[in-house]
Amino acid sequence: MVGKYSDIICEVKGQIGIIKFNRPKALNSFGGNLIPEAVAAFRELNDHPDTVFTVLTGEGRFFSAGADVKGKSDAPPTANFPNDGEKKIAFVSRYSIAQELLRSIIDHKKVVVLALNGPAVGGGAAWFEGMSDIVVAAEGAWLQITFSALGLVPEYGSAIGFAQNVGVHRANEMLMFGRRVNVEELMEWGMVNHIFPKEGFHDKVISWLEEQLSVNDGKSMMEVKRLQNAPIRDARMMAVVNAVDALAERFVEDAPKKRFEAKRKELEEKSKNRASKI
């Protein structure tokens, strides 16, 4: 039995736990209750007695568009702070929920399978790819990380995660320049394990994992993960903490303020144009 959630779907199919972002109208952006519910679901599946795999995926055409720049919950605090120290504390505190999500993934006992059902942008393209144990994707999916364009930094350890997975130079082109990269190219680079047809993607991923379970011992697969991650666990967490510190400093400097406002206006204008054509 798994908990009921509003902005994610959490279910168990045999030895496979599934966490599915479920804000398709908002392209599964990180608004509403999505992040705290994902934290709760990872904790729940971590302790599930039967599962071996935990699949993270999305509902609809996007895996995740990252920050909900149109939503109030992702808007930077606008209070007037008496000094930069209190301003930084406010931002660091604001990132604690997402930091706990990344810790939950790093410390997760089950094999984490990221299943990119569609494109991912920003945090959706950065947070999970380097921390997952297996990455699969639907044909035509792509990643784009636009942190530099918004005056931000690679969030929650993604600078290290990408460098370790695709190499420093390729990672820098994605993280510094915001280069959009399709999953076919990422498979050549070694970040994506398998690509499945978009039609029936989720069912195909589950069937593939069931095939692995029919051949391989679940505890042995989990032990592979534990032995790989044990020596690097603290370094991964330090990378997450360092990224939170750097991100908070960017906001103390007000670097992203104008860029976020311009992006919000751009999205609102696009939304109005679409509505006028209907």
User: Nearest 5°: CA angle at 139, between 20 and 213?
Assistant: 55
Residue 2, domain member (yes or no) = no
Residue 3, domain member (yes or no) = no
Interval 226-246: pLDDT, tens: 999 999 999 999 999 999 999
Interval 7-24: pLDDT, tens: 999 999 999 999 999 999
Among 2-6, 8-12, 131-135, 228-232, whose mean pLDDT is lowest?
A: 2-6
Establish how many alpha carbons lie within 13 A of residue 94's alpha carbon, considering only the half-sphere containing its beta carbon. Answer: 18
Residue 145, domain member (yes or no) = yes
Looking at residue 278, its pLDDT comes to 64
Full domain range(s) for residue 243 = 8-277
Q: Which uninterrupted H or E stretch holds 142?
A: strand 142-144
pLDDT band at residue 4 using 50, 70 and 90 as cut-offs? confident
Residue 1, domain member (yes or no) = no
pLDDT band at residue 257 using 50, 70 and 90 as cut-offs? confident
Looking at residue 76, its pLDDT comes to 55
Task: Note the pTM of the prediction, 2 decimals.
Answer: 0.90
Residue 111, domain member (yes or no) = yes
- Distance, in Å, from the CA atom of 203 to the CA atom of 239, rounded to the nearest integer, reads 34
- Distance, in Å, from the CA atom of 50 to the CA atom of 57, rounded to the nearest integer, reads 20
Residue 21, domain member (yes or no) = yes
Residue 253, domain member (yes or no) = yes
Question: Could you tell me where the beta strands, DSSP code E, fall in 6-110?
Answer: 8-13, 16-21, 53-58
pLDDT band at residue 44 using 50, 70 and 90 as cut-offs? very high
What average pLDDT does range 77-86 have in this prediction? Answer: 83
Nearest C-alpha neighbor of 42 from the set 151, 127, 144, 154? 127
CB 8 within 8 Å of CB 20: yes
CATH code, domain with 119: 3.90.226.10
Instruction: Please give the C-alpha separations between residue 1 and each of 12, 111, 190, 217, 273, in angstroms, as whole numbers.
Output: 8, 20, 36, 23, 44
Q: How many domains does the chain have?
A: 1
